[in-house]
Amino acid sequence: MDIEKPLNGNHAVANGVREKNGHHNEDSMSPVGSPQGATASVGSPGSNGLMKKPLPVLDERLKKRVRKLSRSNSKDGVLGVAGTPNFVAPHRKWKNSRRSRNGYGRGLPKKGGAGGKGVWGKPGSEIYQEVDEDDQNDPNFDLDAYNSHHNFELKEVVLELTDEEFQKKVEPIFLEYYEHGDTHEVAESLDEFITGERRPLLSKIAVEMAFEHKQSQREMTSVLISDLYGRTVTSKDICAGFDMLLDNMTDLILDTPEAPHILGNFIARAVADDCVPPKYAYDIDREGLCPQAREALIRACSLLSQHQGWGHLDDVWGVGGALRPVQTLTRQMAILLKEYLLSRDLEEAQRSIKELEVIHFHHELIYEAIVMTLEALNEQTEEAICMLFQSLDNTCIVSPDQMEQGFRRVYDDMADIVLDIPLAYSILDRFVQRCQRAGFLSDAVIKDLPSRGRKRFVSEGDGGRIKPVNLLARDF
């Protein structure tokens, strides 16, 4: 019995293809690329009536050849044979392909964001883009527009600061100057951004800030204006700044009632430092001056017209509190307390104490006030000093530590004070009780109140005179 051999390697694929009903179709069973007569059906009669045997199972060598042939066909662009492992449907061939669609990569952005779909490009690349040149053969070509478009130069443009922005940049510099006192550093900081139109604002801002500070900061402001003259500002700039202050005097006195007096001192000091010409201060009858501005100029003229010259204007703001001798401070505190006892003006007394600028030396003020109360020997003085202490404690001008230190200094010196004031212990006891009712003394200070030991041979009514030693002995 003869066995028909397959014509090619693909013939073995059709061996397992059958109809669902179990019958075979010659057309469907015919191998690909084989003639119609070469059938491989099992159990179907041939043309000569003989039964043909089924094809044998392909060996491993034939299977490898089929796979190699299918793989080569897919590489060459052939879709392969349906049913083979490497068969790819035509509409899915390019969908799952990893090759580039357009020949320029997969369409992903480049490193640094320099390309890709929906990407603007690398930051800053738009600066270096080439400008498309116009066609000079175009009848509508404009040579002037072309030259103006291509012939350009990039320059740095610094925007001009407004008055508010300039003030916000200058104020921190002046506040730091109050801490370090270096005018050279201030000048270097101002040179970085100051322009000619903003120079008059320097003296205006400096004096306005000095209104809200103490005498020592006002002295530093006068020194700053003097050192900036000739380097950062001119005499014209300083005068223009003073003019702004004089025009705004009606608003300045709302926050600083003594503004005319302070501005007059600044003008006189600037004249003494040769920063402002004297005619500026003596021009009182100029037009457009309000009464408060005229008062400031009158104050400056009165300081400049004194016979001893302008040397005294170096101390127009006084010497700093910590730099003054202790004897000077003690004498000023005594004068301050005497003026208060005569006027009973608490606000004036508070202002004078703050002008001393000796926060660390307020215990001396408390000590002098208590000793003055013991020497007065009347309740009116005790009441006035108690009111002063209470106001100083409520306004936080004198700290509780300084208050307590002043009372304890009196406690320690009572042995010497009682020699001059025999009733000192009783008066001190009464005064402390009054302060206790006012509510500003601590319990520790009240508890440590000294009391004089009562001896039989000493009588407070006798003025502290000691009785004779040879007293008569009592008979028992």
* Comparison of pLDDT for 416 and 328, the residue scoring more: 416
At residue 214 the predicted structure's pLDDT band, cuts being 50, 70 and 90, is: confident
275-299 average pLDDT score: 90
Q: Which residues, 6+ apart, have CB-to-CB distance to 420 below 8 Å?
A: none
Query: How many other CB atoms are found less than 10 A from the CB of residue 113?
Result: 13
Contacts 24+ apart (CB under 8 A), 429-437: 430/382, 431/370, 431/373, 431/374, 431/382, 431/385, 431/386, 432/407, 434/382, 434/383, 434/386, 435/386, 435/389, 435/390
3-state secondary structure 145-193: HHHHHHCCCCCCCCCCCCHHHHHHHHHHHHHHHHHHCCHHHHHHHHHCC
Pick from 408, 402, 378: nearest CA to 389: 402
Q: Which residues, 6+ apart, have CB-to-CB distance to 90 below 8 Å?
A: 79
Pick from 418, 408, 417: nearest CA to 441: 408
257-261 average pLDDT score: 91
Looking at residue 162, what is its pLDDT? 85
What's the angle, vertex CA 172, arms to CA 170 and CA 173, rounded to 5? 65
Q: How far apart are CA 476 and CA 474, in angstroms?
A: 6
At residue 377 the predicted structure's pLDDT band, cuts being 50, 70 and 90, is: confident
Q: Residues 418-457: pLDDT tens digits? A: 999 999 999 999 999 999 999 899 889 999 988 875 544 4
Looking at residue 358, what is its pLDDT? 84
Looking at residue 355, what is its pLDDT? 80
Enter the tokens of residue 236: 């014209």
4-30 average pLDDT score: 42
Q: Within 13 Å of residue 129, how many CA atoms lie on the same side as its CB?
A: 10
Looking at residue 93, what is its pLDDT? 55
Residue found under tokens 């879709």 = 79
Enter the tokens of residue 310: 């302008």
- Whether the CB-CB separation of 263 and 246 falls below 8 Å is answered with yes
Q: How far apart are CA 262 and CA 237, in angstroms?
A: 20
Type of residue at 120? W
Beta pairing partners, 45: 51
12-31 average pLDDT score: 41
Environment class of residue 374 by beta-carbon count within 10 Å: exposed (0-12), middle (13-18) or buried (19+)? Answer: buried
Phi-psi map region of 310: left, alpha, beta (phi>0 left; psi -120 to 50 alpha): alpha
Mean pLDDT of the chain: 75
Looking at residue 252, what is its pLDDT? 92
Q: What is the DSSP letter of 422?
A: T
Instruction: Flag whether the pTM goes above 0.75.
Output: no
At residue 160 the predicted structure's pLDDT band, cuts being 50, 70 and 90, is: confident
